[in-house]
Chain A
Amino acid sequence: MLLLSTCMVQEGQPPTDEQRGELERALKTVVRDHVGPKARLAVAWMTVPKGSAYSAGKPSKSSLVQVGVPDGFGQSAREALMHDVNDRWCAITGQTRFELLVGAMDQTPGRQAVKGILSQIPLTQKPRFLKDYLTHAIRSLARG
Chain B
Amino acid sequence: MPLYTCIADSRTSDEKRERIAVAITEAHCKHTGAPAEFVHVFFNDYLGGASKADLRIAGNIRAGRPPDLKAKLHAEIVARVTEILSSSPSRVNLLLQEVPAEWAMEGGEVLPTPGSERDWMKKHWSADEEEAPAHPATQ
Q: Give the B-binding residues of A (Cβ under 8 A).
A: 8, 46, 48-49, 51-57, 59-60, 62, 64, 75, 78-79, 82-83, 86-87, 96-106, 109, 112-113, 116-117, 119-122, 124-125, 128-129
Select one of B41, B44, B103, B125 contacting A49, CB under 8 A: B44
The answer to whether A86 and B108 touch across the interface, beta carbons within 8 angstroms, is: yes
User: Chain B residues with Cβ under 8 A from A112's Cβ?
Assistant: 97
The number of chain B residues with a CB under 8 A from chain A is 49
- For B105-137 the 0/1 string (1 means CB < 8 A from A) is 111101000000000000001000001110000
Tell me, rounded to whole Å, the shortest Cβ–Cβ distance linking B54 to chain A: 11
User: Chain B residues with Cβ under 8 A from A79's Cβ?
Assistant: 102, 105, 110
Complexed CA–CA distance, A54 and B20 (Å): 10
Tell me, rounded to whole Å, the shortest Cβ–Cβ distance linking B43 to chain A: 4
B70 interface hit (Cβ, 8 Å): no
Complexed CA–CA distance, A3 and B56 (Å): 27
Can you sample 7 A-B contacts with CB below 8 Å? A48-B43, A54-B18, A64-B3, A113-B97, A117-B58, A121-B7, A122-B46
